[in-house]
Amino acid sequence: MVYGLPSELLMDGAAELTGQVLDELCRITSVENMHSVAYRPAMMGLVERFNRTIRDMVAIYVAPTLNDWDEWLATLTYAYSTATHGTHGFPPMQLMMVRVGKSVLDLQFPAAPIVESMPVWNRQFVAELTRIRAIAKSTLARAQEEMARHYKKGARDR
């Protein structure tokens, strides 16, 4: 766990995510165990999409014996975190840290170092973080609305 325990854990009603063991783990670690509202695709759609993406990435790299999947998780998570996402146009790492992760190409073609005073850099960091998170929040809201419209259309057609 890179950033420590979450303060909240939002789960759908999946059987593997309900039960005394997880409830007790949340209680011991002071993590609020929350459940989504049933049939709310706008709420869990992005999580389901992330899960599908990670599952597909693991399927590509894991050995046929399926015994090394855990060895790939850090690499695949880094790849996911540094990839630009179509929904909001930013890599998740940039939204969290206001920087884009380095790749092998960055080592081959290094950028010139930027030297600034720390107070100026801190103000710029906060301003940039605020700007890109506002853009991401806006585009994610639009994507969730589109998912909800798509779901409702399918529900009406049934």
The structural domains of the chain, with segments of one domain joined by +, span: 36-153
Contact yes or no for 133/88 (Cβ under 8 A) = no
Contact yes or no for 96/90 (Cβ under 8 A) = no
**Position 85 pLDDT exceeds 90:** no
Residue 126: helix, strand or coil by DSSP? helix
- Return the pLDDT at 18: 75
Contact yes or no for 136/88 (Cβ under 8 A) = yes
Query: In one letter, which amino acid is 44?
Result: M
Query: In one letter, which amino acid is 8?
Result: E
Q: Per-residue pLDDT tens for 5-42? A: 889 888 777 777 778 888 898 999 999 988 777 666 66
Of 109, 98, 83, whose CA–CA distance to 132 is shortest?
98
In this predicted model, which residue has the larger pLDDT, 72 or 108? 72
In this structure, of 65-74, 96-105, 125-134, the range with the lowest mean pLDDT score is 96-105
Instruction: Supply the mean pLDDT for the chain.
Output: 80
E-assigned strand segments in the chain: 8-11, 32-35
Q: Per-residue pLDDT tens for 35-69? A: 777 666 666 777 778 888 888 988 888 878 878 88
CB atoms within 10 A of CB 131: 11
